[in-house]
Amino acid sequence: MLILAITSLVIRVIVTVWTCLAYRRLRDRRIGLAAALALVLTFRMILSVFWADFSAWSKSDLWDQLIAFFISVLLFAFVTVTIRLMEEQQQLEELQRKTNAERESLLERLSTLLDRMPVGCILNDVEFRFIFWNPAAEKIFGYQFEEVRGKHPFGMITPQSSQPIVEQIFRRLSVGDMTANAVSENITKDGRTIVCEWSNTPLFKADGTFQGILSMCQDITERTRTENERESLLKRLRMVLEEMPIGCILTDSEFKFTFLNPAAERTFGFREDELLGMRPLDTVVWPPSRPLVEDRFQRLAQGDLSASGSNENVTKAGRVIVCDWSNIPLFNPDGTFQGILCMCQDITERRRAEIERESLIGQLETKNAELERFAYTVSHDLKGPLITVKGFLGLLEQDLQTDDRAAVKSDVDRISAAADRMKQLLDELLELSRIGRIVNPPQVFPLADLAREAAEHLDGQLRERNVCVEIADNLPTVRADRIRLLEVLQNLLENSVKFLGEQPNPRIEIGSRTGAEEPIYFVRDNGIGIDPRFHDKVFGLFEKLAPDSPGTGIGLALVKRIIEVHGGRIWIESAGPGTGTTICFTLPTTGKTDYASRRESDS
Amino acid sequence: MRDQPLLILLVEDNLDHAELVVRSFRDHRVANVIRHVTDGEMALDYLFRRGPFTDAVNTPRPDLILLDLRMPKIDGFEVLQQVKSSSDLHRLPVVVMTTSDAETDIAKAYDCHANSYVVKPLDFSQFTRLIQELGLYWLAWNEPPE
């Protein structure tokens, strides 16, 4: 009985303390109640212990004791359970709170994310109506979320032009196509058309039914515009490079081709892919020009901006051309040599034209000088007879006054002769200038016949001087302007007659001999000969070897002109005085002559 | 003033012109003796006393040379050059008398040290006046070298 009583008391005290402590910790009302109960019951027991005698108390009814004990145990159990439950609940609540806090914090982050992200984030339901739209989307399209909630994009942000595409995308998304992304035009609230890039994801419920879509969209109008501009700029640049008529070439730092534009391809006859990686020095530079170009390359690598110029190049076909090169060295930002940019132009034609021009200018200058000399000579040689005429007219006047008949006659004769000479001069000049444009077509005839004809024309002179004319029988057939050639032979015969000198057996021979390349025709006389010093002078305009000899001195110049127009040559063979004279000339039979080509151009 | 006749060597290939010169000198009674040669070769032969002119007595040194420029064989310039580069003859007065008024000819003549250059006038009265004045100048006024 005592043990029971003490145990009950102890239990009650422990419980009381425990619940009080628990209450302090957990602060729960129920625990407080339990604490109060425990306290009351414990106090009651203590009071009853103090009120009654302890022994008396301990001797109380066993049944009471048992009940008191039972109550204590019950109390103990109750409190234990209660406290346990309390603690569990508290833990759960703690967990819940923590979970909630975490969820809260996550939601907040999500919210911030959605609010702050620069990309528009939009949710559409299964009928594609807007159910969410973040601030970025508001900014892009100008609509607040409330304005678009529950509305369909068509009629809001999707213009007519984009609707078919977007329709198709919605369809694809609804069947699970994860790649239904697009770039399309949209319109903003204030009516601006923008270009947006859309990344769309379909959303499905756990059972697989289509729930809606999540889209991220970005306004790429600016980017598109910039890209378009860049594209257009690139296109222009490309067009310039493709179309420019000047070759444009790039090389790397080892002077190997890295780029050729079409003009360069055309100039050298290579395709770009045939030359990439090859060295210009090995491919398009004319071997003898290699040192020059090599030197230029080296100078360019040193930064010499003046290493440009022209040089010979060679095409794929092996043709040698001349190109003008403008070279610029290229450097990396760090200053290292990167390669060279070359512009090249084929100036072969230009060079040829320049050379031809120089030649033509030279020819023109020569012709001009000839003309000047001609004009000078003419004016001088017309003055002579004119002075004679005027002079003797003056003398005539005097002689008429003194009535010197003989003198008058002589004066008149001289005047007349001078006038005749002037006329002859003018006629021959005209002839000479005309000789440049032969009008007669070439004929084929035996030279012997022509020689005989010429001799006949001079019959009078020949007979007078008792000249023997020999015409060789080996004279061939020739092709020439018959009339002109007749003049030539006549002139040569006349000349020979003039310079026969005094001798018993004057002889003139017309013949031919074989020369190195062609037959040489000659008119040889045994007359007084011509000093070698004067062999060239003889053919000069108005040069006469004997003063006042008949003729105006044009004769041989005319002859020379005629022969040269036929493409032949004429020269004199004479050792000097007393050895006779041989005038030789050629008439080429093959190939184009000035005469033949002129004839063709005339017809 | 001279009292002796002037010996003129006329080098002229045109016989008509030579006649005009001779007649003009005669008409103006300028005391003179004219020797006429018709080309440069003859002129040089005379002056250097060679060829057909080796007889010194018959080939007195002229007091004046009237020289045409354009002549066959050896022309006036050649004669001028030879005369003016000869130690014997270079002091001889040489008057170039020609139809040419070309700058190049005038320049060349003076380059070769011609003493004077006259252009034959077309007008006859001018021609005779030229001859007269020429004669007067060289006979009357000019001091000849020894």
* Neighboring chain A residues of B71 at a CB cutoff of 8 Å: 547
Q: Say which residues have a Cβ less than 8 Å from residue A62's Cβ, sequence separation at least 6.
A: A1
Residue pairs spanning A and B at CB distance below 8 A: 65
pLDDT band at B53 (very low <50, low <70, confident <90, very high): confident
pLDDT band at A601 (very low <50, low <70, confident <90, very high): very low
CA gap A587, A565 in Å, rounded: 10
- Can you give the pLDDT at residue A596? 43
Range with top average pLDDT, A74-83, A120-129, A468-477, A478-487: A120-129
CA gap B18, B10 in Å, rounded: 8
* Neighboring chain A residues of B14 at a CB cutoff of 8 Å: 384, 388, 547-548
Residue A595, pLDDT > 60, answer no
Residue A504 touches chain B, beta carbons under 8 Å: no
Provide the token pair at A598.
């002129």
Closest-CA distance, B100 to chain A, in angstroms, reads: 6
b/e map A412-444, b = 16+ CB within 10 Å: eebbebbeebbeebeebbeebeebeebeeebee
- Can you give the pLDDT at residue A603? 43
Provide the token pair at A530.
């011509």
CB atoms within 10 A of CB A32: 16
The partner residue sitting opposite B102, judged by closest CB among A376, A391, A393, is A376
Residue A252 touches chain B, beta carbons under 8 Å: no
Residue A384 touches chain B, beta carbons under 8 Å: yes
Q: pLDDT over 70 for what percent of chain A?
A: 92
Residue A548 touches chain B, beta carbons under 8 Å: yes
User: Which of the two residues, A61 and A117, has the higher pLDDT score?
Assistant: A117
Residue A232, pLDDT > 90, answer yes
- Can you give the pLDDT at residue A463? 84
Q: Which helix (H) or strand (E) holds A187?
A: strand A182-187
- Can you give the pLDDT at residue A371? 79
- For B:57-86, CB contacts with A below 8 A are 70-73
The partner residue sitting opposite B99, judged by closest CB among A383, A395, A547, is A383
* Neighboring chain B residues of A386 at a CB cutoff of 8 Å: 122
Q: Return the ∠ at Cα B29 (arms to B24 and B30), rounded to 5°.
A: 85
Tabulate helix, strand, coil % of chain A (nearest 5).
55, 20, 25
**A423-436 pLDDT tens trace:** 988 887 777 776 65
Least confident range from A396-410, A422-436, B61-75: namely A422-436
- Can you give the pLDDT at residue A370? 73
Please state the φ and ψ torsions of residue A259, each to the nearest 5 degrees.
Answer: -160, 140
User: Which of the two residues, A232 and A457, has the higher pLDDT score?
Assistant: A232
CA gap A580, A526 in Å, rounded: 4
Give the single-character DSSP code of A160: G
pLDDT band at A167 (very low <50, low <70, confident <90, very high): very high
Residue B27 touches chain A, beta carbons under 8 Å: yes
| Full-model pTM | 0.46
Residue A320, pLDDT > 90, answer yes
Closest CA to A586 of A556, A563, A565: A563
The partner residue sitting opposite A547, judged by closest CB among B39, B100, B125, is B39
Do the Cβ atoms of B124 and A418 come within 8 Å? no
Do the Cβ atoms of A398 and B27 come within 8 Å? yes
The partner residue sitting opposite A546, judged by closest CB among B19, B20, B72, is B72
Give the 3-state secondary structure of A371-421.
HHHHHHHHHHHHHHHHHHHHHHHHHHHHHHHCCCHHHHHHHHHHHHHHHHH
Least confident range from A29-38, A84-93, A514-523: namely A29-38
Residue type, A502: E
- Can you give the pLDDT at residue A19? 82
pLDDT band at A517 (very low <50, low <70, confident <90, very high): confident
- Can you give the pLDDT at residue B138? 85
**A356-385 pLDDT tens trace:** 999 899 888 877 887 787 787 778 778 889
Closest-CA distance, A344 to chain B, in angstroms, reads: 50
Do the Cβ atoms of A543 and B122 come within 8 Å? no
pLDDT band at A594 (very low <50, low <70, confident <90, very high): very low
CA gap A493, B70 in Å, rounded: 26
- Can you give the pLDDT at residue A66? 81
Residue A548, pLDDT > 70, answer no
